[in-house]
């Protein structure tokens, strides 16, 4: 266990002005409070806070953070209180210790829910002070260093949580030595056999290539010195987990990995980085497609370096990473590096300098809308902080704990692809992200109104996968809204949250609209005036906050129309008792005296008002809605065979009318079957006619084939019933078409 004076001397070695008295008082206080407590290993419990403080000192953090490491478990595990910490060490340290305590104190039945809630609390605490994250990661690192003393079942759970959350979070914050050690410790717990196999093979490779690293470093140093480039060169070896992950991801053997050994060239200036790169590429051939310039385009965790792979002096592939001393520090220590941490704008005023998003204060901008020199806070200088702001913003999206955990993991594990807006703004996205992800990354409103895109100037589907360097232009329409199907192929948590939120809002809007229609119609049926004032007055009796909540509850069958109506007009039940039988909830559609309910259109993914999957209606034809208890309303074309099942229940019917704007870009699916002559080019002729009529083939199958004919099933997208009839008439003019008819929608498994 590190002694008191050793810790103090360690801090003073890099910060001679550190508050030595604060460190001594925190050490003594923590030692006394933890007293005789023991860890699972049998060591005194206080050995853990000391090691956490030592890790923070390794990061060269200030005395306040190191003292917090000494005290971080006092409120949670001893009789210490926030008030006592504030009194003895100040409210700054008290706030940090309390923030760390709140992360751990929640206990829930569901492990996944508990993990999610703790993650939420962690990000909330980080949003108030980033130093909470540094102490928490140091705490988790020491726990993983001593994990073998924990019971096996608990050990596996902690290791998996660390691998899922804390290791990638450290990577996202740019603290690579934290991430690598956390991953390797987890690897030893979760897959010890694979780790031992890799370590054994690495030892064999060391014996075979004993002098390789030294010889290559000498050659590189000599060449750089001859070119008058001041730099130092050293070699490094991949950790076992990094090797395992690459083998697994690329399905390759250990022998085929070219970057087990990598060399870092550390220069004085950025200009020297590119001079060194030019020298190396002149001396030795580079491996195509293995060059990456992260100085020009940094990673989302602020990592900056030039990477290249060459066929080196020993005729082996050698990976080189070229960077400056400052880049080296930021790359290893991330947000904890001196280069970033020395910016006191965040540390000295955490309450007023909370991690901001893309927006900036008007007072920090000049007449051109640019940030004034010196006014840019630490979080605006670093992509890692911007990513944190994005994750913290998603806390307000109203996701369930499970959804939030899923989306945050997506963000944590995402490899990067860099794309550009037409104006040159760089957007960092996960690999395989889509234009929809891009749109939401630019701004939530852009994503919500996205209707199309161009990739590198060419119109492309919204499902397209984006690649590094793509220029993406998003087309928007104020009349558009997110489609639920988007959630199945977008990659970012932000996009998924926004789409899911929009779907919830749309369902609520439709429930509200349907409930309002049901309530107003029942009042018309009993010939009593309906007014919103009556409903507002009845809200306390109904125990609802607003009218929309009442409408939603009616549509969801959570409250009876009878109860709402009686709450609005107390004498209603006495005067109209015969009207309020057990079917009252569904009687609204039986009267022909009421006007039809308007509908703009819906998708099968929306569970409130939706189109029939089997007989989807087309705008312009007569439609009817069928109320289904607990399942909202389904809209059918009047000719649908499915309506026969409801002939005996006219109380379930609601007349509907289309409310479609001619300028609105909305499409409807029309399933058809065509009987064609079995001739060469027949299918091509049908496709050409459909295209000429500006229709789109969404799906097609051959149902059956005969000697002279074959039967084709098509799902064609049209704008309205007139558009459909025009397309159908054009097809019937083809001599190869024997018959064409509109049919029920089919699935692949139903055909053949």
Compute the radius of gyration of the chain from its Cα atoms: 33
Residue 301: CB partners within 8 Å, gap ≥ 6? 171, 172, 173, 174, 334, 383, 384, 387
User: What tokens were used for 528?
Assistant: 């009593």
Task: Report d(CA 59, CA 130) in Å as an integer.
Answer: 14
Show the DSSP H helices in 528-560 as ranges. Answer: 532-542, 547-555
SS3 119: helix
In 3D, which of 727, 731, 663 has the Cα closest to residue 693? 727
**E runs forming strands in 584-640:** 597-599, 609-611, 623-627, 633-637
Task: Report d(CA 750, CA 752) in Å as an integer.
Answer: 7
Q: Identify the H or E element spanning 215.
A: helix 212-226
Q: Which residues pair with 710 in a beta bridge?
A: 676, 705
CB 472 within 8 A of CB 496: no
Task: Report d(CA 488, CA 470) in Å as an integer.
Answer: 22
Task: Report d(CA 275, CA 281) in Å as an integer.
Answer: 10
CB 234 within 8 A of CB 220: no
Neighbours of 629 (CB within 10 A): 10
**Catalytic residue of the set 20, 43, 77, 471:** 77
Q: What is the DSSP string of 264-312?
A: EEEESSHHHHHHHHHHHHHHSPBPTT--EETTTS--TT----EEEEEE-
659 has catalytic annotation: no
**Catalytic residue of the set 15, 76, 181, 326:** 76
Which is it for the CA torsion 26, 27, 28, 34, positive or negative?
A: positive
325 has catalytic annotation: no
Tell me the catalytic residues.
76-77
């Amino acid at each position: 266990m590190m002694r008191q004076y050793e810790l103090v001397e360690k801090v003073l070695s890099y910060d001679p002005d550190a508050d030595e008295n604060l460190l001594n008082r925190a050490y003594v206080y923590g030692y006394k409070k933890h007293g005789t407590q023991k860890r699972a290993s049998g060591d005194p419990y206080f050995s853990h806070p000391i090691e956490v403080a030592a890790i923070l000192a390794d990061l060269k953090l200030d005395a306040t953070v190191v003292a917090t490491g000494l005290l971080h478990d006092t409120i949670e595990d001893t009789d210490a209180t926030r008030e006592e910490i504030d009194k003895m060490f100040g409210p700054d340290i008290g706030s940090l210790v309390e923030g760390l305590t709140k992360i751990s104190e929640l206990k829930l039945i569901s492990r996944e829910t508990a993990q999610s809630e703790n993650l939420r609390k962690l990000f909330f605490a980080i949003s108030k002070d980033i130093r909470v994250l540094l102490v928490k990661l140091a705490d988790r690192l020491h726990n993983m260093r001593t994990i073998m003393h924990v019971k096996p079942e608990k050990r596996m759970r902690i290791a998996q949580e660390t691998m899922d959350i804390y290791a990638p979070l450290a990577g996202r914050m740019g603290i690579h030595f934290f991430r690598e050690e956390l991953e390797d410790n987890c690897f030893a717990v979760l897959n010890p056999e694979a780790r031992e196999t890799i370590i054994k093979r690495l030892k064999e490779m060391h014996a075979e290539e004993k002098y390789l690293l030294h010889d290559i470093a000498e050659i590189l140093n000599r060449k750089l010195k001859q070119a008058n480039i001041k730099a130092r060169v050293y070699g490094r070896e991949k950790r076992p987990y990094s090797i395992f992950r690459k083998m697994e991801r690329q399905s390759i053997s250990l022998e085929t990995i070219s970057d087990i050994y990598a060399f870092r060239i550390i220069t004085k200036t950025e200009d020297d980085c590119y001079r060194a790169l030019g020298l190396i590429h002149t001396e030795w051939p580079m491996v195509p497609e293995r060059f990456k310039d992260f100085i020009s385009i940094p990673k989302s965790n602020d990592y900056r370096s030039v990477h290249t792979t060459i066929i080196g002096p020993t005729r082996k592939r050698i990976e080189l990473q070229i960077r400056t001393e400052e880049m080296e520090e930021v790359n290893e220590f991330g947000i904890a590096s001196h280069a970033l941490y020395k910016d006191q704008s965040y540390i000295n005023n955490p309450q007023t300098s909370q991690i901001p998003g893309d927006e900036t204060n008007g007072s920090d901008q000049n007449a051109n809308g640019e940030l004034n020199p010196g006014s840019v806070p630490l979080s605006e200088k670093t992509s890692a902080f911007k990513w944190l702001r994005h994750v913290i913003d998603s806390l307000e999206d109203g996701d369930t704990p499970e959804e939030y955990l899923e989306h945050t993991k997506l963000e944590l594990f995402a490899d990067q692809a860099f794309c550009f807006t037409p104006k040159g703004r760089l957007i960092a996205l996960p690999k395989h992200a889509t234009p929809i992800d891009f749109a939401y990354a630019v701004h939530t409103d852009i994503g919500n109104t996205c209707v199309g895109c161009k990739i590198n100037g060419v119109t492309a589907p919204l499902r397209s996968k984006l690649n590094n360097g793509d220029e993406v232009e998003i087309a928007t329409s104020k009349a558009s809204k997110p489609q639920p199907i988007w959630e199945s192929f977008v990659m970012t948590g932000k996009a998924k949250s926004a789409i899911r939120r929009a779907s919830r809002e749309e369902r609520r809007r439709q429930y509200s609209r349907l409930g309002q229609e049901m309530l107003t119609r029942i009042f018309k049926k009993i010939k009593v005036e309906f007014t919103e004032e009556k409903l507002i007055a009845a809200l306390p009796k109904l125990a609802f906050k607003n009218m929309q909540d009442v409408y939603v509850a009616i549509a969801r069958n959570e409250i009876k129309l009878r109860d709402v109506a009686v709450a609005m007009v107390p004498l209603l039940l006495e005067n109209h008792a015969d009207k309020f039988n057990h079917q009252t909830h569904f009687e609204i559609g039986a009267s022909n005296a009421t006007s039809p309910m308007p509908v703009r259109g819906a998708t099968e993914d929306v569970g409130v008002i939706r189109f029939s999957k089997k007989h989807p209606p087309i705008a312009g034809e007569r439609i009817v809605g069928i109320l289904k208890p607990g399942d909202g309303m389904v809209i059918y074309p009047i000719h649908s065979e499915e309506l026969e099942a409801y002939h005996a229940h006219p109380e379930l019917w609601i007349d509907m009318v289309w409310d479609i704007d001619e300028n609105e870009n909305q499409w409807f699916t029309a399933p058809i079957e065509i009987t064609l002559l079995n001739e060469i080019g027949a299918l091509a002729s049908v496709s050409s006619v459909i295209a000429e009529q500006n229709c789109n083939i969404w799906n097609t199958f051959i149902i059956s084939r005969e000697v002279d004919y074959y039967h084709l099933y098509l799902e064609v997208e049209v704008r309205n019933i007139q558009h459909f009839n025009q397309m159908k008439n054009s097809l019937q003019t083809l001599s190869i078409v024997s018959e064409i008819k509109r049919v029920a929608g089919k699935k692949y498994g139903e055909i053949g």
